C-alpha cells in the first residue's frame, strides 16, 4: 500500500540537457545564501541552525539522564547539574521549539500554500534569522563562560540577585530570540491577510496556514512581554534595584506573573504549529478532507485567545491569591475544549478514510497518542488540589515532555518527512523512515512514562540525587535507557535524510498524491518565485476522495493478484 | 531585491512578491500596525509594573516624584505634540507629491526630537546622575542629600529608588525610541533626496510617521503618570 | 480577533483612493491635543483638590482622549480598513489583560501571604487613608 505516485511528466523533464533552475540551484555562492531574501532558503537556514541547537540541547539532556541513573548523584556536582538542566531547557524552548516549525516549515510553506510569491516582508524575514543567530551566539558564549544555573524560567530573585553565572548574557540571547520570533509572526500575519492568491478565501486555506496565523498572533501579542520582563531582570541584576526582590520592596511573584503571561501562550507557540502540521498529514494520508474543518480552524484561534487567560496555573503554590488560583484553575479546564475538538476531528478524519501508513503518517499517529496522554495529564495539573501535590515533581516534567516532545517534535519530524521531497526534490528511504518513527515513539514512551510514576511517588524535579529513596532507581534507569533509544531514533533521520540528498530517488511534483497548492502547482523543489504562472484557486481545500482511492488500491491489488496467478500457471 | 519594471517612470515600484501597488501599500500599513501592537505589548508591562508599585507605595512615590519638574516635562510634551503634528503634515504633503514641503516638515520633526532629547539630558538626567541619583546601590546615601538640596522632603530611599528605577527604565526606553526615530527620519530624508527606488510613494513616510505617533502616544501616558502624580 | 475574519481581500484590483487628511483638520486636532495637555496640567497642579482616585481618573481620561485623537486622525485610523482598526484598537485592548494581575494583588489579603500583607506602609488595605502624605509636608512646584 504505497502512496508513491510518480509524476511521469516530471520524471521525463529531468532528463533534459538544461534542467529548470529551482531555488536551490538558482545561485551557488555562500553570499547568495547568507543574503537571500527567498523564504525557502531562509527556511533551510533555519533548518540547519535549529538542528544545531537541538543537538546542543540533547547533549545536556544526555548528561542529565546519565546523572540520574545513580541515586547518589556522583557524576556531576550540584552546580554543574543545575547548569545542565538550565542549558537543556533554555536551548530547547527558546532556540529550538519556538523557532523550529514556524521557522522551517512555516517559512517554507506558508507563502506557497496561500499562492504568494514570497512572504510579505522578505528582508524582515532574513533579519529574523540573523537576530535568531545573534541570540543563539549570545547564549552559546554564556555557555562557554560556564553556563547559567537559573533554569529556563529565570525565576527571581535567584536570577536577579543571587546567581553568579552570566545570566545577563543569557537574557540578552533570549531577548534576541524573542524578536526573531516576533518578526516571523508579523510576517505571517501580513502574508495571510494580504497576500492570498485570487480565490483563496479564508475557508479555502489549509489548516496549516490557520495554525501558523494563530501562532503569529500569539507571537506579536505575547513575546514582547517576555522581552521587556527579561530586560527588567537584567536591569535589576546590573543596578541592584528592587522591582522583583522582596527585601527592596519588590515582589518576586510579579516576575512569575509577567513571565507566565508570555510563557503559557508560548506553549501554544510551540504546539499550534505542530497541530497545524498534523491536520495536513491526517487529511493527506487518510485521503479525506479534515473532519469539521471550520471547527479545527477556529479552535486554533480559540486556543490562541484562551492561552492568554490561564497563566496563573503555573503559580498555584507561588503565593498568588487563592481566589485567583481558583479562577485560573477553572479557565484552564476550558483549554481542554478546543484541544479535544482537534483530537476528535483528527480521529474522525481517519474514519472511513483510506489510511496509508507512510513515515509521516506514523509520526502523526504517534503525535495523536502522545498528545492525548500529555493533554489529559495536563488536567491533573490544571486542578488546583492535585497540582499542589504534583507541582515541582517529575509528573510535571513528564507532562510537558509529552506535550512538547511528543507533540511538537513528533509533528515537526512528521512534517519534515512529508515535505522533504518538496523542499529538496528527493525521496528518502521509506524503510528507515518508518523504523525511525517507531523507534522514536517507543523510546519516547520508555523515557517519559516512568517519570509520571516517579512524579506521583514524589521525585522532585531539578534534583540530581535521590539517596533518600533509592527504590526510585529502577524508574530512573528505565527512563535513561529509554532516552538512549530515543536519541538513536532522533539521530537516524539526520543520516538517511542527508543521504537522500545525494542518492535519493527524484521525487517529482507530487509523490504523495496530496492536494494543496504546494503539491499541485509548485515544482519539487520549487522555483525561486514559487510558481511558473500566477495561481488562481477555484476548488475547495482538501479535495480528497477516499472511496476512489480505496477503489484504485483494490483494483491495483487485483491486478497484482492476476499477474501473480498468470505467473503461477 | 529586484522589482518589476514599471511602465511609467513615475509610477511607484511594486516589489516582486506583490500583485499591484494597492496590495503592497495595504500590506505595508498592516505590517506596521502589527509591529505597533507588538510595541504596545512591549511598553505595557512597564506601565503595569509602575502602576502596581504606585498603588503599593503611593505616598513615597509621591514624595520621590517631587524631584521631577512638571514644567520641563510639559515643555517636552509640547515639543513632541508639535513633532507629531509636523509628521502628520509631512504625510499629507507626501500624499500630494509636494516633496519640498514634506522635507521641511521632516527636518522640523528631527529638530523637535533632538530638542526633546537635549532637554531630557540637560535638565533631568545629567543633574540627577551627576549627583548619584541613579538607581544603583549608592542611591540610598545620595538621594536624601539631593532631596535636601532641592528643598523637598525625602521619601523612604528604597522606595524612591524603585520609583527612579522605573522612571529611568521607562523614559530611557522612550528616549531610545526617540533616538531611533531621529536615525530613521534622517535615513528617510537621505533616500528621498537621492530619489532611491525604495521610496516611490508616500508609504515609507506614512510608516515612519506611524512609528513616530506611537512614540508620542507613549509620552502622552507617561507625562501625567510620572510628572503630575496627585497627592495621596 | 475574530472580527478580522469577515474581511475578504481576494480582489486586489480595486481602486485604492487614499484619504488625504486636510491640513485644517490636522490643525484642529493639534489644537485639541494642546488643550488636552493644558487641562491635564491644570487638573493636576492648579485645579481644585479632589480625592486621589478621582485625580488619577481625570488624568487618565484626558490621556485616553488625547491618544484617541492621535490614533484616529494623525495616524489616520479613522479612514482605513476595518482590519487596521481591529489591529490598532486590539493592541490597546490586549494590553489591558495585564490588569488581570491586579485581582491577585487585590485579593491576597483574603488569605494573607508574606510580602504583600497589608500593613502600615501598604496601600493594599484599599484604605488609602493610611498612606497619606502628612499635611505638614509641603511640596512647592
Question: What Cα–Cα distance (Å) separates residue A71 from each residue in A67, A391, A480?
Answer: 9, 21, 13
From B167, B206, B214, B182, select the one nearest B42 (Cα to Cα). B214
Indicate the burial class of A471 (C-beta count within 10 angstroms; 0-12, 13-18, 19 or more). exposed
Residues of C in contact with B74 (CB under 8 A): 37, 41
Radius of gyration of chain A (CA): 24
Measure C70 CA to nearest chain A CA, in Å: 22
Domain presence at residue B54: yes
| Contact between A44 and A423 (Cβ < 8 Å) | yes
CA of A251: which chain C residue's CA is closest? C115
The predicted structure's pLDDT at residue B187:
96
C positions 95-114 inside 8 Å of B (CB)? 95, 98-99, 101-102, 105
Distance CA C88, CA C70 (A): 12
Q: Is the pLDDT of residue A173 over 90?
A: yes
DSSP assignments along A249-300, one per residue: T--HHHHHHHHHHHHHHHHHHHHHHHHHHHHHHHHHHHTSPPTTHHHHHHHH
Q: How confident is the model at residue C50 (pLDDT cuts 50, 70, 90)?
A: confident
| Contact between A331 and A310 (Cβ < 8 Å) | yes
Backbone angles phi, psi at A178, to 5 degrees: -60, -45
Asked casually if ipTM beats, i.e. exceeds, 0.90, the reply is: yes
Interchain pair A190, B37: CB under 8 A:
no
Distance CA B56, CA B156 (A): 13
Measure C6 CA to nearest chain B CA, in Å: 16
Identify the CATH number of the domain in which residue B96 sits: 1.20.120.80
Nearest to A190 among B34, B44, B169 (CB): B34
| Contact between A512 and A519 (Cβ < 8 Å) | yes
What are the structural domains of chain A? 26-568 (1.20.210.10)
- Name the one residue in this structure whose C-alpha cell is 549627583: B131
Domain presence at residue B109: yes
From B218, B226, B195, B191, select the one nearest B80 (Cα to Cα). B218
Q: Which residues sit opposite A393 in a β-bridge? A: A460
Look at A97-111, A266-280, B129-143, B183-197 and tell me which has the smallest mean pLDDT.
Answer: B129-143
Continuous segment of H or E residues that includes residue C13: none
Interchain pair C9, A200: CB under 8 A:
no
For the range B78-81, what are the long-range contacts, defined as Cβ-Cβ under 8 Å and sequence gap of 24 or more?
A: B78/C34, B78/C37, B79/B112, B79/B115, B79/B116, B79/B119, B80/B112, B80/B116, B80/B215, B80/B216, B80/B219, B81/B216, B81/C30, B81/C33, B81/C34, B81/C37
| Contact between C40 and C59 (Cβ < 8 Å) | yes
Q: Is the pLDDT of residue A14 over 70?
A: no
Q: Is the peptide bond before A525 cis (omega within 30 degrees of 0)?
A: yes
Interchain pair B162, A248: CB under 8 A:
yes
The predicted structure's pLDDT at residue A1:
34
Interchain pair A123, B1: CB under 8 A:
yes
CA of B207: which chain C residue's CA is closest? C75
- Name the one residue in this structure whose C-alpha cell is 532637554: B119
| Average pLDDT of the segment spanning A313-322 | 88
Encode pLDDT of A443-480 as tens digits.
999 999 999 999 999 999 999 999 999 999 999 999 99
Query: Which of A110, A120, A259 is the best substitution to test chain B (most B C-beta atoms within 10 A)?
Result: A120
DSSP assignments along B78-135, one per residue: HHHHHHHHHHHHHHHHHHHT-HHHHHHHHHHHHHHHHHHHHHIIIIIIHHHHHTT-SS
CA of A299: which chain C residue's CA is closest? C2
Nearest to A324 among C11, C97, C103 (CB): C103
Interchain pair A239, B136: CB under 8 A:
yes
Interchain pair A249, B37: CB under 8 A:
no
| Average pLDDT of the segment spanning C27-41 | 95
Interchain pair B36, C91: CB under 8 A:
yes
Question: What Cα–Cα distance (Å) separates residue A49 from each residue in A95, A103, A202?
Answer: 9, 10, 32
Touching chains, C (3+ CB pairs < 8 A): A, B
CA of A186: which chain B residue's CA is closest? B34
Distance CA A105, CA A548 (A): 30
Write down the H helix ranges in A425-462.
Answer: 430-457
Is the Cα torsion angle A363, A369, A371, A373 positive or negative in sign? Answer: negative
Distance CA A257, CA A246 (A): 15
A22 in contact with C at a CB cutoff of 8 Å? Answer: no
Interchain pair C104, A312: CB under 8 A:
yes
Touching chains, A (3+ CB pairs < 8 A): B, C
Q: Is the pLDDT of residue C8 over 50?
A: no
A positions 26-85 inside 8 Å of B (CB)? 37
Q: How confident is the model at residue A531 (pLDDT cuts 50, 70, 90)?
A: very high
CA of C68: which chain B residue's CA is closest? B217
Domain presence at residue B3: no
| Average pLDDT of the segment spanning B92-100 | 92
C7 in contact with B at a CB cutoff of 8 Å? Answer: no
The predicted structure's pLDDT at residue B6:
43
DSSP conformational letter for A158 = I
How many domains are contained in chain B?
A: 1
Residues of C in contact with B225 (CB under 8 A): 59
Interchain pair B231, C133: CB under 8 A:
yes
Domain presence at residue B9: no
Distance CA A262, CA A408 (A): 18
The predicted structure's pLDDT at residue B10:
67
Look at A1-15, A290-304, A471-485, B22-36 and tell me which has the smallest mean pLDDT.
Answer: A1-15
Reduced 3-state DSSP string for A49-110: HHHHHHHHHHHHHHHHHHHCCCCCCCCCCHHHHHHHHHHHHHHHHHHHHHHHHHHHHHHHHH
Q: Is the pLDDT of residue C2 over 90?
A: no
Domain presence at residue B14: no
A positions 123-152 inside 8 Å of B (CB)? 123-124
| Contact between A110 and A191 (Cβ < 8 Å) | yes
Touching chains, B (3+ CB pairs < 8 A): A, C
| Contact between B80 and B116 (Cβ < 8 Å) | yes
Encode pLDDT of A491-506 as tens digits.
999 999 999 999 999 9
Domain presence at residue B57: yes
Interchain pair C98, B40: CB under 8 A:
no
Nearest to B232 among C20, C101, C132 (CB): C132
> Can you read off the three cell numbers belonging to residue A355?
489510511
Question: What Cα–Cα distance (Å) separates residue A92 from each residue in A66, A136, A362, A391?
Answer: 18, 11, 24, 21
Backbone angles phi, psi at A26, to 5 degrees: -60, -35
Nearest to C104 among A194, A221, A320 (CB): A320
Domain presence at residue B114: yes
The predicted structure's pLDDT at residue B152:
84
Measure B33 CA to nearest chain C CA, in Å: 6
Residues of B in contact with C141 (CB under 8 A): 70
The answer for residues whose C-beta is within 8 angstroms of residue A461's C-beta and 6 or more apart is A392, A393, A394, A396, A397, A455
Q: How many CB pairs under 8 A join B and C?
A: 167
The predicted structure's pLDDT at residue C3:
36
Look at A554-568, B2-16, B213-227 and tell me which has the smallest mean pLDDT.
Answer: B2-16
Interchain pair A224, B165: CB under 8 A:
no
| Contact between A394 and A362 (Cβ < 8 Å) | no
The predicted structure's pLDDT at residue A287:
93
DSSP conformational letter for B3 = B
Cα angle A82-A87-A88, degrees, rounded to a multiple of 5: 100
| Average pLDDT of the segment spanning C24-44 | 95
Domain span at B139: 21-227
| Average pLDDT of the segment spanning B97-117 | 95
Domain presence at residue B143: yes
Q: Which residues of C touch A (CB under 8 A)?
A: 1-2, 4-5, 7-12, 83, 91, 94, 97-98, 100-101, 103-108, 110-111, 113-116
The answer for residues whose C-beta is within 8 angstroms of residue A490's C-beta and 6 or more apart is A54, A58, A440
Amino acid at each position: 500500500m504505497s502512496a508513491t505516485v510518480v509524476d511521469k511528466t516530471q520524471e521525463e523533464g529531468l532528463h533534459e540537457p538544461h534542467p529548470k533552475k529551482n531555488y536551490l540551484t538558482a545561485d551557488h555562492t555562500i553570499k547568495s545564501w547568507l543574503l537571500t531574501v527567498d523564504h525557502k532558503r531562509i527556511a533551510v537556514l533555519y533548518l540547519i541552525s535549529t538542528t544545531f541547537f537541538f543537538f546542543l540541547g540533547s547533549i545536556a539532556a544526555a548528561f542529565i539522564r546519565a546523572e540520574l541513573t545513580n541515586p547518589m548523584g556522583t557524576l556531576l556536582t550540584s552546580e554543574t547539574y543545575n547548569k545542565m538542566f538550565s542549558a537543556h531547557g533554555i536551548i530547547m524552548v527558546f532556540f529550538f521549539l519556538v523557532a523550529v516549525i514556524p521557522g522551517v516549515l512555516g517559512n517554507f510553506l506558508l507563502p506557497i500554500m496561500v499562492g504568494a510569491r514570497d512572504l510579505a516582508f522578505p528582508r524582515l524575514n532574513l533579519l529574523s534569522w540573523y537576530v535568531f543567530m545573534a541570540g543563539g551566539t549570545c547564549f552559546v558564549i554564556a555557555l562557554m563562560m560556564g553556563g547559567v544555573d537559573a533554569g529556563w524560567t529565570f525565576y527571581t530573585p535567584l536570577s536577579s540577585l543571587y546567581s553568579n553565572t552570566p545570566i545577563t548574557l543569557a537574557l540578552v540571547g533570549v531577548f534576541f530570540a524573542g524578536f526573531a520570533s516576533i518578526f516571523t509572526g508579523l510576517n505571517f500575519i501580513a502574508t495571510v491577510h494580504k497576500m492570498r492568491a485570487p480565490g483563496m478565501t479564508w475557508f479555502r486555506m489549509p489548516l496549516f496556514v490557520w495554525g501558523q496565523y494563530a501562532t503569529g498572533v500569539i507571537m506579536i501579542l505575547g513575546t514582547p512581554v517576555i522581552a521587556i520582563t527579561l530586560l527588567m531582570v537584567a536591569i535589576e541584576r546590573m543596578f541592584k534595584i528592587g522591582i522583583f526582590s522582596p527585601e527592596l520592596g519588590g515582589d518576586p511573584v510579579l516576575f512569575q506573573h509577567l513571565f507566565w503571561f508570555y510563557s503559557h501562550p508560548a506553549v501554544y507557540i510551540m504546539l499550534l504549529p505542530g497541530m497545524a502540521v498534523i491536520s495536513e498529514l491526517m487529511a493527506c494520508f487518510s485521503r479525506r478532507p479534515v473532519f469539521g474543518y471550520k471547527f479545527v480552524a477556529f479552535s486554533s484561534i480559540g486556543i490562541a485567545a484562551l492561552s492568554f487567560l490561564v497563566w496563573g496555573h503555573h503559580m498555584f503554590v507561588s503565593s498568588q491569591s487563592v481566589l485567583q488560583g481558583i479562577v485560573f484553575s477553572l479557565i484552564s479546564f476550558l483549554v481542554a475544549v478546543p484541544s479535544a475538538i482537534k483530537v476528535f476531528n483528527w480521529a474522525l478524519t481517519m474514519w472511513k478514510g483510506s489510511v496509508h501508513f507512510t513515515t509521516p503518517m506514523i509520526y502523526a499517529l504517534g503525535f495523536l497518542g502522545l498528545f492525548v496522554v500529555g493533554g489529559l495529564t495536563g488536567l491533573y495539573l490544571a486542578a488546583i488540589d492535585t497540582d499542589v501535590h504534583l507541582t515541582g515533581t517529575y509528573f510535571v516534567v513528564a507532562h510537558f515532555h509529552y506535550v512538547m516532545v511528543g507533540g511538537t517534535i513528533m509533528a515537526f519530524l512528521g512534517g519534515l518527512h512529508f515535505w522533504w521531497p518538496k523542499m529538496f526534490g528527493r525521496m528518502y528511504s521509506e524503510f528507515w523512515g518508518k523504523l525511525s518513527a517507531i523507534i522514536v515513539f517507543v523510546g519516547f514512551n520508555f523515557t517519559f512514562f516512568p517519570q509520571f510514576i516517579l512524579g506521583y511517588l514524589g521525585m522532585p524535579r531539578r534534583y540530581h540525587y535521590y539517596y533518600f529513596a533509592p527504590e526510585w532507581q529502577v524508574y530512573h534507569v528505565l527512563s535513561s535507557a529509554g532516552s538512549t533509544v530515543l536519541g538513536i531514533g532522533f539521530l537516524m533521520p539526520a543520516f538517511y535524510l542527508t543521504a537522500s540528498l545525494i542518492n535519493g530517488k527524484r521525487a517529482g511534483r507530487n509523490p504523495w498524491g496530496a492536494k494543496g497548492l504546494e503539491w499541485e502547482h509548485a515544482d519539487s523543489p520549487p522555483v525561486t518565485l514559487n510558481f511558473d504562472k500566477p495561481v488562481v484557486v477555484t476548488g475547495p481545500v482538501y479535495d480528497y476522495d477516499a472511496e476512489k482511492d480505496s477503489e484504485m488500491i483494490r483494483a491495483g491489488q487485483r491486478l497484482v493478484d492476476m499477474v501473480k496467478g498468470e505467473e503461477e500457471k | 531585491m529586484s522589482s518589476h519594471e514599471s511602465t511609467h517612470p513615475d509610477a511607484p515600484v511594486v516589489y516582486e512578491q506583490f500583485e499591484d501597488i494597492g496590495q503592497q501599500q495595504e500590506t505595508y500599513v498592516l505590517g506596521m500596525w502589527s509591529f505597533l501592537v507588538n510595541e504596545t505589548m512591549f511598553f505595557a508591562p512597564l506601565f503595569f509594573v509602575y502602576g502596581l508599585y504606585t498603588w503599593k507605595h503611593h505616598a513615597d512615590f509621591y514624595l520621590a516624584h517631587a524631584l521631577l519638574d512638571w514644567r520641563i516635562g510639559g515643555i517636552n510634551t509640547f515639543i513632541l505634540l508639535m513633532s507629531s503634528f509636523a509628521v502628520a503634515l509631512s504625510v499629507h504633503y507626501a500624499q500630494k507629491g509636494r516633496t519640498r514641503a514634506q522635507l521641511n516638515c521632516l527636518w522640523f520633526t528631527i529638530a523637535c526630537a533632538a530638542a526633546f532629547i537635549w532637554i531630557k539630558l540637560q535638565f533631568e538626567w545629567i543633574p540627577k546622575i551627576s549627583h548619584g541619583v541613579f538607581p544603583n546601590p549608592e542611591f540610598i546615601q545620595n538621594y536624601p542629600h539631593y532631596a535636601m538640596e532641592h528643598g523637598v522632603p525625602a521619601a523612604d530611599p528604597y522606595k524612591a529608588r524603585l520609583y527612579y528605577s522605573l522612571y529611568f527604565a521607562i523614559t530611557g526606553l522612550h528616549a531610545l525610541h526617540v533616538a531611533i526615530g531621529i536615525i530613521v527620519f534622517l535615513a528617510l530624508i537621505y533616500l528621498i533626496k537621492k530619489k532611491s527606488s525604495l521610496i516611490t510613494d508616500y508609504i515609507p513616510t506614512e510608516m515612519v510617521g506611524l512609528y513616530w505617533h506611537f512614540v508620542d502616544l507613549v509620552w502622552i501616558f507617561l507625562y501625567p503618570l510620572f510628572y503630575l502624580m496627585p497627592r495621596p | 480577533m475574530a472580527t478580522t475574519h469577515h474581511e475578504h481581500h481576494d480582489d486586489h484590483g480595486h481602486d485604492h483612493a487614499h484619504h488625504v487628511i486636510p491640513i485644517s483638520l490636522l490643525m484642529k486636532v493639534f489644537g485639541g491635543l494642546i488643550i488636552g495637555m493644558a487641562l491635564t496640567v491644570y487638573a493636576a497642579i492648579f485645579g481644585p483638590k479632589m480625592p486621589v482616585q478621582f485625580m488619577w481618573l481625570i488624568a487618565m481620561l484626558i490621556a485616553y482622549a488625547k491618544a484617541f485623537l492621535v490614533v484616529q486622525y494623525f495616524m489616520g485610523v479613522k479612514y482605513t480598513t476595518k482590519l487596521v482598526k481591529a489591529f490598532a484598537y486590539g493592541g490597546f485592548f490586549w494590553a489591558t489583560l495585564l490588569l488581570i494581575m491586579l485581582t491577585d494583588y487585590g485579593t491576597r489579603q483574603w488569605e494573607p501571604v508574606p510580602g504583600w500583607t497589608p500593613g502600615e506602609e501598604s496601600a493594599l488595605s484599599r484604605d488609602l487613608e493610611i498612606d497619606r502624605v502628612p499635611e505638614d509636608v509641603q511640596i512647592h512646584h
